[in-house]
């Protein structure tokens, strides 16, 4: 009896109570009351490798993360594994009625996070693959597994390239489940750059332009919500992206490109209002090209939408205030000089290798 009592020390209270009762003949294992968390499920993807990767994360990361600490101790402590392997075993019922039979695990067998995420980004190709991204992000948040720096940005960039921007916006709408917040500068900047690239490649007209405008409106509305930038509590590294120069520049260029079309879109402020905010933020004294070519590429990417927005606003002649027009012309001259010099520097350093900022420049040079 003393030995049995010692065995129950490592059981949660509900498991311990169950272990004291006679086992009913209709069940071969014990069960605990319903657990309040639900482990996200994945649908079939386009490749067996991606299916296996999703299942590995679900089994070895999401499942332990969804369990209570006593249950995690049961699956990870070798001295407790006999309790799980012998009848009656232990199951946990999740809030979606899924019954999990707890099995021994070795914490050292968890997948390498960075290598697995890198492969995951590479494998996301088909629509079926992308539809699993919200569930994956939900599982990472559930397990309190923070994505390494830069990986959410990679997801967003690839989604933009494959026409899946709407899925990223949906993840941002589900921020409490996915953790995708537009207060993250890298995420929002990459999301908005994708909208800029789509509109610019379409010559700021047609169906792709209309889609970029609609999605920019959705982003703008989300930015104002408390769970994104509408609140007053900021975590380290987050900021109010409603006041970000690149975001405002992309809004300006989309507004200016639409200036000749009648519109009832109320999500966009008047062109003059956006222009005033931009001119107040314009880095007049900081237009110096970074000596590091990789940083110079980032500078060029961030300022090209502003260059386009200024040119379109002045070309459409829709700025009502004369002082705004005069100031924007002056700032555009300085910005044009920077853009041309930065482009030459990046082009020389790239030695023929493709660079996104150079493609962006080509789409805008004839505006």
pLDDT in tens, the chain (367 residues): 444 443 443 445 445 444 434 433 333 334 454 445 789 999 999 999 999 999 999 999 999 999 989 889 889 999 888 888 887 788 888 777 788 888 899 999 999 999 999 999 999 999 999 999 999 999 999 999 999 999 999 999 999 999 999 999 999 999 999 999 999 999 999 999 999 999 999 999 999 999 999 999 999 999 999 999 988 767 888 999 999 999 999 999 999 998 766 654 433 447 889 999 999 999 876 789 999 999 999 999 999 999 999 999 998 677 888 999 999 999 999 999 999 999 999 999 999 999 999 999 999 999 9
In a domain, 218, yes or no: no
C-beta neighbour count of 133 within 10 angstroms: 20
In a domain, 247, yes or no: no
The tokens of 304 are what? 């090209």
Indicate the number of domains in the chain: 2
In a domain, 238, yes or no: no
Sequence-distant (6+) residues with CB within 8 A of 284 are: 331, 334
In a domain, 20, yes or no: yes
In a domain, 272, yes or no: no
Domain closes at, from 109, 131, 163: 109
pLDDT at residue 302, rounded to an integer: 96
pLDDT at residue 285, rounded to an integer: 64
Cis ω for the linkage preceding 88 (within 30 of 0): yes
**How many angstroms separate the Cα of 340 from the Cα of each of 306, 336, 360?**
14, 6, 13
Long-range contacts of 267-273 (CB under 8 A, 24+ apart): 267/217, 267/220, 267/221, 268/217, 268/220, 271/313, 271/318, 271/319, 271/320, 272/319, 272/320, 272/321, 272/324
Domain closes at, from 109, 125, 154: 109
Contact 328, 279 (CB under 8 A): yes
Domain closes at, from 109, 136, 164: 109
In a domain, 246, yes or no: no
Q: Provide the domain limits for residue 353.
A: 290-367
Q: Which among 152, 163, 160, 164 is positioned nearest to 121, based on CA atoms?
A: 152
In a domain, 83, yes or no: yes
Contact 89, 101 (CB under 8 A): yes
Q: Which among 334, 332, 341 is positioned nearest to 367, based on CA atoms?
A: 332
Contact 332, 311 (CB under 8 A): yes
pLDDT at residue 30, rounded to an integer: 45
Rounded-to-integer distance, Cα 136 and Cα 310, Å = 40
In a domain, 96, yes or no: yes
């Amino acid at each position: 009896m003393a030995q049995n009592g010692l065995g129950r020390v490592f059981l949660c209270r509900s498991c311990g109570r169950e272990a004291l009762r006679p086992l009913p003949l209709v069940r071969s294992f014990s069960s605990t009351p319903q657990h309040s968390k639900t482990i996200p499920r994945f649908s079939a993807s386009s490749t067996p490798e991606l299916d296996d990767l999703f299942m590995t994360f679900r089994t070895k990361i999401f499942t332990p993360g969804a369990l209570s600490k006593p249950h995690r101790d049961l699956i990870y402590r070798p001295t407790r594994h006999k309790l799980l392997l012998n009848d009656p075993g232990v199951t946990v019922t999740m809030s979606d009625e899924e019954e999990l039979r707890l099995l021994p695990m070795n914490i050292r067998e968890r997948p390498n996070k960075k290598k697995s995420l890198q492969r995951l980004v590479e494998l996301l190709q088909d629509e079926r693959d992308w539809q699993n991204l919200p569930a994956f992000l939900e599982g990472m948040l559930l397990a309190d597994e923070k994505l390494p720096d830069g990986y959410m940005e990679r997801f967003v960039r690839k989604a933009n390239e494959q026409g899946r921007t709407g899925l990223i916006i949906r993840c941002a709408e589900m921020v409490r489940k996915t953790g995708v917040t537009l207060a993250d500068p890298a995420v929002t900047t990459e999301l908005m750059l994708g909208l800029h690239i789509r509109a610019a490649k379409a010559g700021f007209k047609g169906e792709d332009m209309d889609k970029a405008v609609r999605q920019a409106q959705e982003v703008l509305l989300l930015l104002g919500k408390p769970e994104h930038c509408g609140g007053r509590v900021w975590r380290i590294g987050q900021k109010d992206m409603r006041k970000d120069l690149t975001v405002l520049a992309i809004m300006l260029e989309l507004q200016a490109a639409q200036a000749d079309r009648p519109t009832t879109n109320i999500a966009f402020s008047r062109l003059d209002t956006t222009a005033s905010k931009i001119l107040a933020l314009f880095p007049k004294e900081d237009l110096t090209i970074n000596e590091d070519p990789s940083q110079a590429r980032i500078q060029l990417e961030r300022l090209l939408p502003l260059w386009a927005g200024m040119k379109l606003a002045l070309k459409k002649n829709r700025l009502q205030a004369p002082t705004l027009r005069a100031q924007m012309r002056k700032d555009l001259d300085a910005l044009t000089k920077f853009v041309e010099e930065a482009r030459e520097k990046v082009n020389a350093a790239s030695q023929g290798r493709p660079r996104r900022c150079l493609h962006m420049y080509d789409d805008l040079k004839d505006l």
